[in-house]
Structure 1
Amino acid sequence: MPVTAYAATPHAGAQQSQQVAAATGLDDPAKKEIAMKLVSSAENSSLDWKAQYKYIEDIGDGRGYTAGIIGFCSGTHDMLDLVELYTARVPGNALAKYLPALRKVDGTDSHSGLGSGFVSAWKTAAKDTAFQTAQNDERDRVYFDPAVKQGKTDGIGTLGQFAYYDAIVMHGDGDDSTSFSSIRKRALAKAKTPAQGGNETTYLNAFLDARVWAMQQEEAHSDTSRVDTEQRVFLKAGNLNLNPPLDWKVYGDPFHIG
């Protein structure tokens, strides 16, 4: 789907073109705000995503601590990257002294060298606008921007780009069978993207089917309501541009964006 469409002006002999009814992408500021709220509804049972900078806990999924606006994990490297970025920008911050421990536990669910002191330091750092900005920047670099870029390459609109984003947030990207790239490959085996000449709705259904399969491979992700009663709802309604009002449920809890 082209991001911008042009049509000839109605004036005879006119040489210019005018922009008409261009669909926005997920990187449109208003759509990005919706995306942040949708993810927060699933990750934190709240639409107030900015309240999640201070969030931190071990949810028992084998990834160590999960924290912040996008669920940075001590066991999956993205938390380490975040704290390294923050420390490069603000040396001597509350989290800096935990960098050696974060490097040691990376790839495991261990709390060794972290514990309650680290949890307190995270909450302290979360009050610093520089740390909030670092969380935003890492979210965009690792998750949001790659999802939107791939979505636009595949010719899918705002809803599809969000489906990509939500998948890469939960599953990450890599070579394993449940990564974002593997989910996309599984979908491509069933349907063509719009960029390949396929139907957008058909392709997105195939992608969501593949996403549900990936979620079901891990007990911690086995509740598929963020697909079934959220993304599927918008897709069945034909809301490919993710236009409000939006009504959905996650884990049985209702949410609304007007």
Structure 2
Amino acid sequence: MENRPTRRTALLLGLSLAAVPAAGFTASRFASPADAAVRATGLDDPAKKEIAMQIVCSAENSSLDWKAQYKYIEDIGDGRGYTAGIIGFCSGTGDMLELVELYADRKSGNVLEKYLPVLRDVDGSDSHDGLDPNYTRDWRTAAGDSVFQQCQNDERDRVYFNPAVAQGKSDGVRTLGQFCYYDAIVMHGPGSDSTSFGGIRKRALGNAKPPSQGGNETAWLNAFLDARVWAMKQEEAHSDTSRVDTAQRVFLRNGNLNLDTPLDWKVYGDPYHIG
């Protein structure tokens, strides 16, 4: 698993924001019967999920309009090929291939299906061989298809959102904590090395306990965000920690553990508001 810079930072530094999904990192890995008491509410509430998507988009795309990102596609020049879509699927890291395979399963003969052999060939590289000159055009065409949009949503949920929420509920944290987990997985990937989500959580466990282990929720989330900031500072692409310092920390200091609106925060110095 490679770590994941934000799209805005990546564009500034010439890096990619895509992360490689870690095998076996699924919601079922973290779910347990003990989750039942908190399963009904949290970041997976539709209204809260919409808020989560907007906040992440403010950091990844300097916008609240996350649905405008289905059509995004660009090679940022980091060795991972094309980066595209609402969560940064990459032609060189396998997750774009899995997305297009899902699209082909759901809609045979779609405009991207013909690229499947090529996507398998370029997986693991930054090559555009067989993709240029029309792949980016065809991606943007596909992005207008509600079936493809739903495929992006579902892959986002499978790899990033659902595991984050499940781990949050298992740890006994409320909506804000689940969001902190989700944002960390989006940026760093759901791996187990020191600067991926699993490693960040492990570092936090050295300083605090989650509520499920008898710890204080606010103290635990502060420890998790401390570990997150440490991980971000290990790479130049992550060195701007404002998505934590002037967003998640603000919500936490305000005691807004349920991520209730109105919300005001800043990322890279730019102000955002959800009423």
TM-score (norm 1): 0.87
State whether structure 2 residue 156 is matched by structure 1 residue 139: yes
Q: How far, CA to CA, are the matches of 2:204 and 2:113 in structure 1?
A: 41
Q: How far, CA to CA, are the matches of 1:23 and 1:50 in structure 2?
A: 26
Question: Aligned letter for 2:182?
Answer: Y
The aligned counterpart of 2:88 is 71
Aligned ranges for residues 1-258 of structure 1 at < 5 Å? 24-258=41-275
Q: How far, CA to CA, are the matches of 2:256 and 2:173 in structure 1?
A: 12
- Offset, 1:252: 1.4
C-alpha distance after superposition, 1:73-128 (max 9, x if no partner) = 22322211111100111122111122222223323333333234211111000000
Question: Aligned letter for 2:171?
Answer: D
Q: How far, CA to CA, are the matches of 1:85 and 1:23 in structure 2?
A: 28
- Offset, 1:180: 1.0
C-alpha distance after superposition, 1:173-215 (max 9, x if no partner) = 2233221111111111111001000111111111111111222
Worse-matched range after superposition: 201-210 or 107-116: 107-116
- Offset, 1:4: 5.1
Question: Aligned letter for 2:121?
Answer: K
Q: How far, CA to CA, are the matches of 2:270 and 2:129 in structure 1?
A: 35
Question: Aligned letter for 2:49?
Answer: K
CA RMSD of aligned residues (A): 2.0
Structure 2 spans left out of the alignment, 5+ residues = 1-33
**Sequence identity percentage:** 76
CA contact (8 A) 1:248 1:256 kept: yes
Q: How far, CA to CA, are the matches of 2:137 and 2:105 in structure 1?
A: 21
Question: Aligned letter for 1:151?
Answer: G
Q: How far, CA to CA, are the matches of 1:237 and 1:217 in structure 2?
A: 28
